[in-house]
Amino acid sequence: MLNAYRSNTLQYDPEGCINCGICSVVCPHGVFATGDGVAQLVSPQACMECGACQLNCPAEAIQVESGVGCATAMIRAALTGKKEPVCGTDSSSCCS
């Protein structure tokens, strides 16, 4: 069963997971935790779409479209000198 979340592009296939624990180590927001047999999604809405979990998953059980979410907004804000990261065309912060 493939899990997808509307608030971000994170997709996780627990049937493909080998429970190596790498996703829980590399995720800066604690989205994953090791579980009994497979990784557990403990905070999927906290995913900032950086792509670290996908890049480091040896089983390819995680997919995320990096470059579209919070991580990109934070980098863009830093490069342009803005105080708050903004996602999309509206002025609301997506990273709070």
| pLDDT tens track for 58-81 | 999 999 987 655 666 667 777 888
What are the structural domains, with CATH classification, of the chain?
A: 3-80 (3.30.70.20)
State pTM to two decimals. 0.67
* Alpha carbon 29 to chain centroid, angstroms: 8
- pLDDT value, residue 45: 86
3-state SS, residue 47: coil
Q: How confident is the model at residue 12 (pLDDT cuts 50, 70, 90)?
A: very high
CA nearest 63: which of 10, 8, 4, 15?
10
- pLDDT value, residue 3: 53
More confident call, 51 vs 87:
51
Q: Which amino acid is at 96?
A: S
How are beta strands 32-33 and 40-41 bridged, if at all?
antiparallel
Q: Give pLDDT tens digits for 21-40.
A: 999 999 988 999 999 999 99
- pLDDT value, residue 5: 46
Average pLDDT estimate for 8-23: 94
- Whole-number Å distance between alpha carbons of 67 and 82: 18
